[in-house]
A and B are shown apart, each in its own frame.
Chain A
């Protein structure tokens, strides 16, 4: 009981610490969004934005304060959803629950892809992960024994080198996170020249048809190689899963 309490408290404190930067960013972004509203009431800017109306630019064309606010709110909701569902996945004791929460995480991640103007990747994520990998995971679990689903029966082994204590793993993970976040903040985005293009200006480039054209021209060889690779993986998986038959 006490252990459960400590685990839950640790989860809450950890998620609060993790969400704090995002919360600060949310506040700053909201203020900035409200500040920039005047800019979009300028008729010249409005007509420029209207020419790219088709793709994800509803927030530029309207200039409506509520819609911009909602756009950001939904994005940060997806961010919080991704992280909290990932934490729940790690802390769940039941394996089937963990797998289902994992797929909810993948759904939330596909929401992030939509916000990043990548519709096709979002749909691919949903179709392949949830259509393919979820079924694989569940079949894998259902075909196996009942003991596999009970994670508590697996926790009684002695600790060896490959398997760290939760605290040590947490320290390593958090230090890696600090390193990454520090690096992202240190990185000067202005020094990357190809990122100076305006995402609104090349909104037309994000059409699905452009991905198809690129796959059939520039990326034709990787495309074919990955097709052969997929066939290899399929044959390999079914070979591994075969029934043992005595030939002799």
Chain B
């Protein structure tokens, strides 16, 4: 009667491939970051869906850890993107060749 696990898995794999598409094709670092976030969320959906059958709830705890990690990652990534924009006046990854001063 509960919803089958296959449905969660299919939704998460569609979300994951949307993230892959965004990461591969977008020419904007913020959109690439959003693609990575989609992939992380697909992973969390899988963890939570499998933890439904687990009596120890370990999947949910892992999901909470992943959410915290993703938030920290977004904080650092956006700081890097703003610095990138300050230096290069663009957020197109193709036009960024150097790590240091221009």
Q: Which residues of A contact B (CB under 8 A)?
A: 18, 21-22, 25, 29, 33, 36, 40, 59-60, 68, 72, 75-76, 79, 82-83, 86-87, 89-90, 95, 98-99, 102, 105-106, 109, 112-113, 115-118, 120-121, 124-125, 128-129, 132-133, 136-137, 140-141, 143-145, 147-148, 151, 154-155, 157-158, 160, 162-166, 168-170, 172-174, 176-177, 180-181, 184-185, 189, 194-195, 197, 199-200, 202, 205-206, 210-211, 214-215, 219, 222, 226, 229-230, 233-234, 236-238, 240-241
Q: How large is the interface on B (under 10, 10 to 19, 20 to 34, 35 or more residues)?
A: 35 or more
Instruction: Name the contact of B71 in the complex, choosing from A86, A99, A133, A195 (C-beta under 8 A).
Output: A133
Contact status B7-A25, CB under 8 Å: yes
User: Does B99 touch A at the CB level, under 8 Å?
Assistant: no
Contact status B93-A129, CB under 8 Å: no
Q: Which residues of B contact A (CB under 8 A)?
A: 1-11, 13-18, 20-22, 24-28, 30-31, 34-35, 37-38, 41, 44-45, 48-58, 60-61, 63-65, 67-76, 78-83, 85, 89-95
- Main secondary structure on chain B at its contact with chain A? helix
Contact status B63-A72, CB under 8 Å: no
Closest CB in chain A relative to B89 CB, distance in Å: 8
